[in-house]
Amino acid sequence: MGFNIKTIAIVAGEDSGDALGAELIKDLLQLNPYLEFVGVGGDRMVKAGLNLICSNQEFAIMGIAEVFKKLPKLLKLRKYIVKEISAAKPDVFIGIDAPDLNFPIENILKKQGIKIIHYVSPSIWAWRPKRAIKISKLTDLVMTLFPFEPQYYEKQGGKAVFVGHPLAQNISLEIDKKRAKEQLKLDTSNPVLALLPGSRTNELKAHTEIFIKTALQLKKQQAKLQIISANTNQQKRDYILTIAKENNLDILMFDDATQVLKASNLALLASGTVALEAMLCKTPMVVGYKISPITYGIVKTFNMMLLPYYSLPNVIKGDFLVAEVLQKDMTVTNLTQELTLLLDKEKQKKLIKEFTQLHKSLLNPNNNAAKAVMKFLNE
């Protein structure tokens, strides 16, 4: 008896995409063990069953100016990825996030008659809603993580489905901070600050030192404050440790950011998925972010930001819920000031209550990404 083995091509360009991709592969294999996966991802996707074309570490850069320097190499690599995917003759291509990488790939594959799913809607509600028109033409289905997103595509005649946010499903609604501290062998009677300067190399360079100096300032007020950090990459963990050592800061390093956030009473972090994770882990946070002056200038000049806030907890809330400290304002003084406010127990309670409500809004028990993909394949 022959089984109909289907091939799914997946490209995830970043760490957060690797986590989503690994989850998706595992869930799909539970629904149908006769699936094969080929594409671009990281260690987690490979472990879940991806046949790797190339590692997503090749694409771990951010910002217009930064990408420009590496453009020839990136274009050559993209051509190679398309060639390999075409040769695999996939039943569907799934581009996970990373629009700058995935949209051009999807465009070429779509012309070859390959069905296209894009998983994780770009922030069209924050940056250029007209992109929904282009994306609707480019894809056969968009799987969104936030419940307010499908309407943007449906308005343009596209097809989109809210699949729930996998992080919201994997992190429990209530967090036992004491138990999480015990698991990391931390002192349960004293507060913990998480420092998460980012997963990309240029984010680490822009944020690490200033975050560490801020932690030192906070420690002056709160002598028993425990400081912890995380990164999935050993080289990047070493980088954070080196800068901490240069500044005489005791910091404990882990490889799992979610565990770190569960155990923390407050967090200082870069923008991105990690801010959402902090919210789901019920950890009051300050978001600090700095991009290259050229990139920032372009964003400002062309009025590319439609919302007054950019971190995910604020976007989901539709209001300023957590503090955002950007660009020139991102000084040790300003960050310390915002973190000091979060040491207040009442303020913490209020935020945790808000975070729990937002967490509930991201759950979709009736549908998940794997079910949506299987339904699409069977149609």
pLDDT digits (tens, 9 = 90+) for 124-156: 877 677 789 999 999 999 999 998 899 989 999
pTM of the model: 0.77
Measured in whole angstroms, how far is the alpha carbon of residue 356 from the centre of its chain? 19
**How many helices (H) and strands (E) in the chain?**
17, 13
Q: Are 240 and 249 in contact (CB under 8 A)?
A: no
Q: Are 368 and 169 in contact (CB under 8 A)?
A: yes
The CA distances from residue 193 to 27, 36, 143, 313, 348, in Å, are 34, 42, 34, 19, 13
Residues of the chain with pLDDT under 70: 1-3, 61-66, 127, 302-304
pLDDT at 184 (0 to 100)? 98
- Fold of the CATH domain 177-361: Rossmann fold (3.40.50)
- 68: tokens are 């420009």
pLDDT at 62 (0 to 100)? 57
- 148: tokens are 């307010």
Q: How far apart are CA 322 and CA 353, in angstroms?
A: 13
pLDDT at 1 (0 to 100)? 41
In the three-class reduction of DSSP (H, G, I as helix; E, B as strand; rest coil), residue 150 is classed as helix
Q: Are 364 and 144 in contact (CB under 8 A)?
A: no
Q: Which residues have C-beta within 8 Å of that of residue 83, sequence separation ≥ 6?
A: none
Backbone φ, ψ for residue 56 (5° rounding):
-75, -5
Give the start-end residues of each E strand in the chain: 6-12, 35-41, 50-55, 92-96, 116-119, 141-144, 160-162, 192-196, 226-230, 252-254, 266-269, 285-289, 323-326
Alpha helices in 139-225 (DSSP H): 150-154, 166-170, 177-183, 201-221
Nearest CA-CA partner of 18 in 37, 45, 38, 36: 45
Q: Are 362 and 289 in contact (CB under 8 A)?
A: no
- Fold of the CATH domain 6-164+364-378: Rossmann fold (3.40.50)
Q: How far apart are CA 337 and CA 30, in angstroms?
A: 48
* Residue extent(s) of CATH 3.40.50.2000 domains in the chain: 6-164+364-378, 177-361
pLDDT at 154 (0 to 100)? 94
Tell me the Ramachandran region of residue 248: left when phi exceeds 0, alpha when psi lies from -120 to 50, beta otherwise. Answer: left
pLDDT at 24 (0 to 100)? 95
pLDDT at 232 (0 to 100)? 84
Q: How far apart are CA 12 and CA 197, in angstroms?
A: 21
Buried b (16+ CB within 10 A) or exposed e, 287-297: bbbbbeeebbe
Q: Which residues have C-beta within 8 Å of that of residue 229, sequence separation ≥ 6?
A: 194, 195, 196, 197, 237, 240, 251, 252, 253, 254, 260
